[in-house]
Amino acid sequence: MEQMERIDARDLNLSEKLININRVAKVVKRGRRFSFSALVVVGDGEGHVGAGLGKAREVPAAIRKGGAIARRNLIEVPMVEGTIHYKIVSKFGGAKVMLKPAAPGTGVIAGGGIRATVEAAGIKDIVTKSMGSSNPLNVVRATMLALGQLKDPKQEVARRKSTVAGGERSSG
């Protein structure tokens, strides 16, 4: 896979959305020691979105860390008229996510982590389906994977034409 350039979060107006807080307990000699993990999605509503999982002893610290991690993991989503270009299915762990473009006016037909992620990206019309695991972390990661795999068809055609023109093709 090709290396993508990092998106600088400082020049974007990002909004943060908390999706899930999970309390975990570590059993020690004197009882249980509680810790928290927070799943956070950030996006500018104009095609940039990122997700992060922050872990800390207190909830606010975990949320802050999650937001910082999400800002570091920003991706750009190619969109056309408020939706995606084509249908895509992605898997992460036990979660399987299907994203399908929708006509203008349809709205975001999604639930939970998928809804938060596509809304943060700025997608206005989309139909989604979550299959398999409903674990919020895996659902969000599968959604991010799907959005990251999307390509702009015009740029992809131009890229393919340039590679065909650049290299000699053998007539086998």
CATH no. for residue 91?
3.30.230.10
pLDDT recorded at residue 2: 46
pLDDT for 14 equals: 87
> Would 118 be classed as within a structural domain?
yes
The answer to the question of residue 36 being in a domain is yes
Flag whether 2 is in a domain: no
pTM of full prediction above 0.95: no
What gap in Å lies between CA 68 and CA 143, rounded to an integer? Answer: 19
The β-bridge partners of 126 are 101, 108
For the chain, what is the domain count? Answer: 1
Q: Is residue 43 part of a domain?
A: yes
pLDDT of residue 169: 56
Question: Quick check: is 168 in a domain?
Answer: no
Residues of the domain holding 53 = 9-152
Q: Is residue 166 situated within a structural domain?
A: no
Supply the pLDDT for residue 11: 73
Mean pLDDT by 10 residues, the chain (172 residues): 60 88 94 95 92 96 95 91 93 95 93 92 94 94 94 86 70 54
Determine the angle formed by the axes of helices 112-121 and 136-149, rounding to 10 degrees: 40
- The pLDDT of residue 4: 54
pLDDT of the residue at 153: 85
pLDDT of residue 1: 39
The pLDDT, as a whole number, for residue 7 is: 74
Q: Give the pLDDT score at 57.
A: 96
Q: Which of 46, 45, 56 is nearest to 17 (CA)?
A: 45
